[in-house]
Amino acid sequence: MGTAAGSAGLSRNVGREYELAQRLAHLPPYARSLWRIQVPVFVTLAGTRQPASRVLDLAPGTILHFSKPCDDPLVVSVGRCDVAVGETVKVGDKFGIRITSMLMPEEKFESVRPKKPTAPTDQ
C-alpha cells in the first residue's frame, strides 16, 4: 500500500471515529457503551442441503453447485436477523457489499384476548 493510499485510509478511520464520538456525546452514559459492542455480521452467498454422504465426500477441488443465480442480491445478517440486501462490489483487491435495501423485522402478532378455560371432561 502506498503512502497516499495509507494516509487516505487513516484519514477515513479518524473521520469515522470522530463521527462516532459526536454521536455518542448526545447519548446518556448507559447507552454509550451499547454503540461499542461488536456484533457478528454475515453475508450469505447461497445455501443448499446435501446428504450427509455428499458432505463426507467433500475434498479440496470439490465444487458445490447452488441454484441461486450469480447476480441475485446477497442477504446481510446480524446475529440471526436478516437486516439488509445488497450487491457485491470490488474494493481494491477485496470484495464488499453495497446495501441496496433494508429489511423490516418480521412482525409477530399475538392475541390480546385471554384464552377461554376449557371445561374438564367427565370420563
pLDDT at 31 (0 to 100):
79
> Containing H/E element for 94?
strand 94-102
pLDDT at 29 (0 to 100):
78
C-alpha cell recorded at residue 9: 485510509
List pLDDT tens digits, range 60-95. Answer: 999 988 898 988 999 999 988 899 999 999 999 999
Strand, coil or helix: 42: strand
pLDDT at 102 (0 to 100):
94
Query: What's the half-sphere exposure (Cβ side, CA atoms, 13 Å) at 116?
Result: 3
User: Measured between alpha carbons, how far is 29 from 62 in angstroms, rounded to an integer?
Assistant: 52
Burial level of 93, CB count in 10 A (0-12/13-18/19+)?
Answer: exposed
List pLDDT tens digits, range 3-49. Answer: 555 555 556 667 778 887 787 788 887 777 787 788 999 998 888 99
